[in-house]
Structure 1
């Protein structure tokens, strides 16, 4: 069954089977409850270091009672109005002052409305924004703490602020001009861009991708309020059936009777080092006593920088990886995480982990330099490569999530395959970065045998060939003297 067909089957599934807990595990190996294949998937890089941490996140001291751990705030936020309310809510939105949304704004509406940011119920008001910006978390009314490392805000310009005036509610208009929903009981406050950038990225260097795309050109005001969305957000790009909400993912984990869910985020094509990591992780969870650990392979589907491989190409490449048997489709669920990418390193990786809690994952894999990138103006990493996993082990509000840190996987030139890096024979290993991989594909060169499955590599080569053809046809013709 193709990846698309399997994904569509999952998106339409409404099964809700009894949850299996780590203290009441069932052996599915020889029973009729053997999990059936779900849609094809694949993993990310970095090799296994240890299944233990020295913090309260230690997987050896599990306090989790279910593979579907409780979402932040105790219940999943769902801000899409019911079909019976849609007509009335639409008419109300049409009568309100309007706020236009950019494509990235719409991605955040998607994120908030489905509960990825639970317990957040809308774009942040000022008190939520300040807590997020300064403390990376929110304090609930009962005194509990939930992680919220990225400000999720909506910017407006002076003209829009003037048009809103003293109104308490506004309608939200999507990039194509359709009414998406409303913000109610609004609050408008100053958008101090420099402070936001400095605290989120730890740098104000020019060239930060999300800053250039979404903050620099944005308005000088932020508007917060309670969000209502008229209909589930769709992109009509042929990939909507992969965009499973946290609620849908939890149903899938139930259906597969998972007793552990380990999540891995990626924004790159999958190579055999990723597969090595995924398979090794599952083996270790089985050794710990779990009977049916399920991998949530969760590629990021929102805004990415210009030189990243586009989402549709990555999804096609992932399909080939599974078709070639690199990963087991029976124990893997692949879905698209709708969040935009900030490339904010240790600050952003907390958001990535927190969102997976709301989706039901109780293990989160973190490797070298998660959510990081090269410095935009200097030849160095923007962040310390080890800080992401260290921050996750200490981050407030993530105590119930088990963090799995791993060392780097690299290409073993002796065994001619991707393997866990062995410092004792470092000269035998070749590190192929995402940039190097893209250079190979762009130049039509083949990587070393064993780096990536043939079908997956052909997808990348085809994409870059098409890109070069497009660039060539767009170049102006030479004018003869």
Structure 2
């Protein structure tokens, strides 16, 4: 081998691994919680301002914006940001660069609130419990065309879309945007706040663990051994690529979900059992809650899920079949093509610096009696256990095949569904 060939070979290799932490969108992580020294003055200021009430979902968006998940966004969208998000799925910054922003993050108000605001340039945001949350400055109020928003976000205006029914249908006819200031960090006091690590806190934890790669896994369901296989296999692949200490961010969605999804507290208990049972390694796994509400908007929403993890420091994102999808609300079919999510992520503007990892299909191998990657050559040996089938197992108290889920995690689900059946049995007496 000649000297020149060695030199060329070195040039062809990827650069040495230096850090897992890629820059947040816009170059700097947004933090909109005011300092303690300023909080007292802000608290006096809010008393004289018109008040805008927030719903629970609005408060979740305040949480998301204030911690920098939507960086470089610094408040609820004004009209120019809203239109870019709605029609282009991205924002163009002042320097000409593009960041992904596939979901409009907006605050709706009713006619009487708009009238009460009048000519004021700032408003006080009030939480569902009546407490002051923060201030919205340099406000802009513009028309809320609900049909256009729904059609462009979901690709349909069919009745029965969970987020639409919860947050848009009965919302006001106006949107109010502006620069956000939050008086104190958002807390829910539900026993889970210690899981709600901000992007800044997550980046600090990745540094503390000396991560040289961070791979994020988004989910809103219990973790079964097929999920674990995907996550463990991803870590193995990253090690083979030359990384020395890849860290998994197991990042369940913690905001609004539809009524038949497993509640957050149950999911978090189930996730903890997965680590306790050693299905995932606690030394190389961080479990945290992603505070965003869920839209079930398929390829449009999966871009938001990926973009937010960039701001948390992840440089790899695992994507599977039909991410952020759901069944069509009025027809017996998937609302979105199951493969479009991962295809869109690989092409989406503003996500170029994130490495997308499409995962292989996992199913229950009836021969090996464990979750394994599907092999088309022996398709008859594999059993696909859908979420509906898993729920039916748990509701009936029937155990799934050995190796589908760790025993501790399965026990959590069985107890949850048993408690629901108990409530259903008692409800006629209670109503009487």
Same structural fold, with TM-score higher than 0.5 when normalized by the shorter chain: yes
SS at match of 1:382: coil
Aligned partner of 2:197 in structure 1 is 244
TM-score (norm 1): 0.86
Matched, 1:219 2:197: no
SS at match of 1:262: strand
Aligned partner of 2:129 in structure 1 is 176
Report the Cα distance in structure 1 between the residues aligned to 2:107 and 2:364, rounded to whole angstroms.
Answer: 43
The C-alpha deviation readout for 1:117-155, integer Å capped at 9, x for no partner, is 000000000000000000000000000000000000000
The 1:195/1:211 distance shift into structure 2, 3 A limit, reads same
Q: Map 1:255-270; keep pairs closer than 5 Å.
A: 255-270=208-223
Contact 1:64 1:400 in 2 (8 A): no
Contact 1:368 1:407 in 2 (8 A): no
Report the Cα distance in structure 2 between the residues aligned to 1:196 and 1:135, rounded to whole angstroms.
Answer: 13
Report the Cα distance in structure 2 between the residues aligned to 1:435 and 1:160, rounded to whole angstroms.
Answer: 42
For CA contacts below 8 A with separation 6 or more, give which structure has more relative contact order. Answer: 1
Report the Cα distance in structure 2 between the residues aligned to 1:397 and 1:62, rounded to whole angstroms.
Answer: 22
Report the Cα distance in structure 2 between the residues aligned to 1:297 and 1:113, rounded to whole angstroms.
Answer: 22
The C-alpha deviation readout for 1:143-197, integer Å capped at 9, x for no partner, is 0000000000000000100000110000000000000001000000000000000
Q: Map 1:15-414; keep pairs closer than 5 Å.
A: 66-414=19-367
Query: Size of the alignment, in residue pairs?
Result: 420
| Poorly superposed stretches of 4+, deviation over 2 Å | 60-66, 476-479
Deviation at 1:63, TM superposition (A): 9.9
Contact 1:317 1:457 in 2 (8 A): yes
Matched, 1:460 2:391: no
Aligned partner of 1:425 in structure 2 is 378
Report the Cα distance in structure 2 between the residues aligned to 1:401 and 1:65, rounded to whole angstroms.
Answer: 16
Contact 1:187 1:223 in 2 (8 A): yes
User: Which consecutive unaligned segments of at least 5 residues does structure 2 have?
Assistant: 1-12
The C-alpha deviation readout for 1:307-358, integer Å capped at 9, x for no partner, is 0000000010011111111111000001000000000000000000000000
Contact 2:102 2:300 in 1 (8 A): yes
The 1:477/1:250 distance shift into structure 2, 3 A limit, reads closer
Contact 1:150 1:351 in 2 (8 A): yes
The 1:188/1:133 distance shift into structure 2, 3 A limit, reads same
Contact 2:369 2:401 in 1 (8 A): yes
The C-alpha deviation readout for 1:419-470, integer Å capped at 9, x for no partner, is 0011111111111111211111112111111100111000000001111111
SS at match of 2:304: helix
Task: Out of 418-427 and 142-151, give the one that drifted further.
Answer: 418-427
Deviation at 1:407, TM superposition (A): 2.1
Matched, 1:442 2:392: no
The 1:219/1:453 distance shift into structure 2, 3 A limit, reads same
More helix by percentage? 2
Contact 1:63 1:400 in 2 (8 A): no
Report the Cα distance in structure 1 between the residues aligned to 2:24 and 2:207, rounded to whole angstroms.
Answer: 15
The 1:107/1:427 distance shift into structure 2, 3 A limit, reads same
Task: Out of 226-235 and 462-471, give the one that drifted further.
Answer: 462-471
Report the Cα distance in structure 1 between the residues aligned to 2:18 and 2:120, rounded to whole angstroms.
Answer: 46
Contact 2:17 2:212 in 1 (8 A): no
Report the Cα distance in structure 1 between the residues aligned to 2:49 and 2:22, rounded to whole angstroms.
Answer: 39
Report the Cα distance in structure 2 between the residues aligned to 1:377 and 1:440, rounded to whole angstroms.
Answer: 26
Aligned partner of 1:17 in structure 2 is none
User: Which consecutive unaligned segments of at least 5 residues does structure 1 have?
Assistant: 1-59
Structure 2 counterpart of 1:474, from 415, 424, 427: 427
